[in-house]
């Protein structure tokens, strides 16, 4: 990989003394030449700290890495998840981007699951249920939670509530405001072995007092049956869909209940539009390719250790949390596909918040802190509210923050000086619709995969999640007073926990 990326350092050193303001002034066409539009999604990279020569070098890397071939292998269902010997066919859940046998078979299974979702949704619609509790964690929670929050409808047939945290306070607070006679629950777990989900599922099952209002989404039908959920109330998952890529599957059943099946299908259609673009657009005109190359540039050429995502729309307030999992669980790897050590930095720390609230929180560090943090700003051109003055002010803040971070401000008073040269990409949605939200999420999914190809790592396994869970299973009896911990620090902490018990 060093050979693939090593030339980037030369370009970074060449540009190190050239401020962004000069790059923009010296290239009058840059503001439009460094931008792409795909349907209702627009992206502007003009405030990234590269010039045309550096960009040429990045696209040359994309050619050498055969990103076009990598995308084809993904869509065709080749086993791009090599460590688990699996395909990653989440695109088949939302469209016919490939005609390969594997993709066609996956698409057929996805369509059958959609039909099952319609049937179950219709049954619930005809019942007296008013509230749905969705129980899951990680990829079984964050994506659906984001979509339901972003596209919430005041006239929705069901109110959908999400329960993820193992902390019993989460269940206690949620159930205290609901009527068990008016509720149903959906337990979402691919393995149906996730302790957090099963414990919460048990609490809700006992609270409901009626297994007939329990539903499941899982790839483990025998475990679902053992839990007490009938097969006709179970929706399928498959090993060719990773959890953080699964909201397009039956994992999205809570989305369909909260927003209606037509809205869920529009979400799928939007993602499919982006899939079609990424599958067929040349590299230079391919939005996820630009996004991925920019991420690699900021990480490996400029050495950025973190990346912020700042949506300037309250409805997208949960997007940073979803992207944290999508990006950091996918790219948080330190070994290459062949098992050798990665010889360059991989994923930065992703974090963020919603504008304009975040401006009164951590923006001070973004403007005048010692570390440069690249940013993805996300805006929505047309709101769904009638408060024109608010929206104008929101857009003004979005544009002003991106400009101020890039251009800075000189001042004789060093405390008032803004260094500028803080790079950002601006993503703009014409409106926040199911289609544009589907496109936006799919953009990040494809960018993540392409970054993994460039770093020669696997974007689809997650072995780093497992060690802590294994240790927790081993320590559970110890916490309950049976046996002793091996680790001396853990033993000392357990003593304190015992002392603090009433």
DSSP secondary structure string, 257-324?
HHH-HHHHHHHHHHHHHHHHHHHHS-GGG-HHHHHHHHHHIIIIIS---EEEEEESSGGGTTHHHHHH
Q: Is 33 or 502 the better-scoring residue by pLDDT?
A: 33
Tens-digit pLDDT profile for residues 295-306: 999 999 999 999
Which residue among the candidates 112, 280, 469, 473 is catalytic per the annotation?
469
CB–CB of 438/271 below 8 Å? yes
The percent of residues above 70 in pLDDT, for the chain, comes to 99
Q: Which of 169, 360, 385, 415 is catalytic?
A: 360
CATH topology of domain 116-261: Rossmann fold (3.40.50)
Nearest to 258 by CA among 128, 137, 113, 152: 152
Cα 195 to Cα 171, 189, 241, 265, 321, distances in angstroms:
14, 10, 21, 31, 21
pLDDT digits 0-9 by tens, 164-187: 999 999 999 999 999 999 999 999
> pLDDT at position 6, please?
81
The encoded tokens of residue 127 equal 């019942």
Percent of the chain with pLDDT over 90: 94
- Per residue, the 3-state secondary structure of 144-201, as one string, reads HHHHHHHCCCCCCCCEEEEECCCCHHHHHHHHCCCCHHHEEEEEECCCCCCHHHHHHH
pTM of the predicted protein model? 0.96
Per-residue pLDDT band for 1 (boundaries 50, 70, 90) equals: very low
- The CA distances from residue 413 to 363, 372, 416, in Å, are 20, 21, 5
Place of tokens 């959906």: 186
Q: What is the pLDDT of residues 320-329, one digit of tens each?
A: 999 999 999 9
| Active-site residue (options: 329, 333, 435, 446) | 329
CATH architecture, domain 30-44+59-64+281-458: 3-Layer(aba) Sandwich (3.40)
Residues 6+ apart with CB under 8 A from 214: 184, 185, 187, 201, 205, 208, 227, 228, 229, 233
Is the alpha carbon torsion for 286, 292, 295, 300 positive or negative? negative
- What is the pLDDT of the chain when averaged over all its residues? 96
Q: Is residue 208 very low, low, confident or very high in pLDDT (cuts 50, 70, 90)?
A: very high
- Average pLDDT on 101-130 reads 98
Render pLDDT for 409-442 as a digit per residue (tens, 0 to 9).
999 999 999 999 999 999 999 999 999 999 999 9
Beta bridge partners of 307: 350
CA dist 174 and 47 (Å) reads 44
pLDDT at 269 exceeding the cut of 90: yes
pLDDT category, 498, cuts 50, 70, 90? confident
3-state secondary structure of 499: helix
Lowest mean pLDDT among 82-91, 232-241, 461-470: 461-470
**pLDDT for the residue 500:** 55
**DSSP state, residue 347:** P
- String of DSSP letters for 24-58: HHH-TTHHHHTEEEETTEEEE-TTSS--HHHHHHH
Contact call for residues 162 and 121 (beta carbons, < 8 A): no
Q: CA 446 to CA 275: how far, in whole Å?
A: 8
Q: Residue 380: pLDDT band by 50, 70, 90 thresholds?
A: very high
List C-alpha distances in Å: 162 to 219, 260, 316.
21, 17, 17
Is 418 in the active site?
Answer: no
The helix/strand/coil state of 88 is coil
Rounded Cα distance between 480 and 373, Å, is: 44
Asked if the model's pLDDT at residue 502 lies above 60, the reply is no
Quick one: pLDDT at residue 481? 87
Q: Are 257 and 160 in contact (CB under 8 A)?
A: yes
Looking at per-residue pLDDT, the higher value among 211 and 2 belongs to 211
Active-site residue flag, 360: yes
Domain residue ranges in the chain: 30-44+59-64+281-458, 116-261, 466-500
Q: How far apart are CA 461 and CA 82, in angstroms?
A: 9
Q: Among this protein's residues, is 329 annotated catalytic? A: yes
Whether 116-261 and 30-44+59-64+281-458 are alike in CATH topology: the answer is yes
Q: By three-state DSSP, how is residue 94 classified?
A: coil
d(CA 438, CA 432): 10
């Amino acid at each position: 990989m060093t050979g693939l990326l090593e030339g980037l350092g030369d370009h970074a050193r060449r540009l190190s003394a050239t401020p962004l303001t000069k790059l923009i002034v010296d290239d009058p066409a840059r503001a439009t030449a460094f931008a792409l539009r795909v349907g209702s999604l627009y992206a502007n990279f003009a405030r990234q700290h590269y010039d045309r020569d550096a960009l040429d070098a990045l696209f040359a890397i994309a050619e050498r890495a055969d990103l076009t071939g990598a995308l084809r292998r993904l869509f065709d269902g080749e086993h791009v998840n090599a460590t688990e010997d699996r395909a990653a066919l989440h695109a088949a859940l939302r469209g016919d981007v490939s005609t390969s046998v594997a993709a066609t078979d996956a698409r057929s299974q996805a369509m059958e699951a959609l039909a099952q979702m319609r049937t179950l949704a219709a049954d619930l619609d005809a019942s007296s249920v008013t509230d749905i509790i969705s129980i899951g964690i990680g990829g079984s929670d964050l994506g659906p939670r984001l979509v339901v929050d972003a596209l919430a409808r005041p006239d929705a047939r069901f109110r959908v509530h999400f329960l993820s945290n193992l902390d019993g306070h989460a269940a206690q607070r949620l159930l205290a405001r609901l009527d068990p006679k008016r509720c149903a629950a959906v337990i979402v777990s691919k393995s149906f072995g996730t302790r957090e989900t099963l414990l919460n599922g048990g609490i809700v099952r006992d609270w409901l007092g009626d297994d007939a209002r329990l539903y499941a989404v899982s790839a483990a039908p025998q475990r679902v049956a053992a839990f007490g959920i009938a097969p006709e109330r179970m929706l399928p998952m498959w090993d060719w869909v990773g959890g953080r890529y699964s909201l397009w599957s039956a994992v999205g059943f809570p989305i369909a209940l909260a927003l209606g099946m037509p809205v869920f299908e529009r979400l799928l259609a939007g993602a499919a539009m982006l899939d079609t673009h990424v599958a067929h657009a040349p590299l230079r005109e391919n939005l996820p390719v630009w996004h991925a190359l920019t991420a690699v540039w900021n990480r490996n050429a400029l050495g950025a250790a973190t990346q912020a995502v700042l949506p300037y729309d309250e409805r997208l307030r949960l997007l940073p949390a979803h992207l944290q999992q999508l990006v950091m669980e996918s790219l948080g790897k330190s070994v290459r596909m062949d098992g050798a050590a990665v010889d360059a930095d991989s994923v930065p720390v992703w974090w963020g918040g919603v504008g304009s609230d975040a401006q009164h929180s951590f923006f001070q560090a973004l403007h005048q802190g010692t570390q440069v943090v690249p940013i993805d700003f996300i805006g929505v051109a047309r709101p769904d509210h009638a408060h024109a003055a608010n929206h104008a002010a929101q857009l003004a803040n979005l544009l002003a923050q991106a400009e101020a971070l890039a251009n800075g401000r000189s001042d004789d008073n060093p405390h008032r000086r803004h260094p500028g040269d803080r790079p950002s990409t601006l993503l703009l949605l014409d409106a926040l619709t199911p289609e544009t939200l589907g496109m936006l999420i799919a953009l990040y999914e494809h960018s993540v995969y392409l970054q993994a190809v460039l770093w020669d790592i696997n974007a689809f396994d997650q072995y780093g999640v497992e060690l802590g869970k294994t240790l927790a299973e081993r320590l559970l009896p110890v916490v309950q007073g049976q046996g002793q911990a091996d680790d001396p620090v853990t033993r000392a902490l357990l003593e304190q926990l015992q002392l603090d018990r009433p």
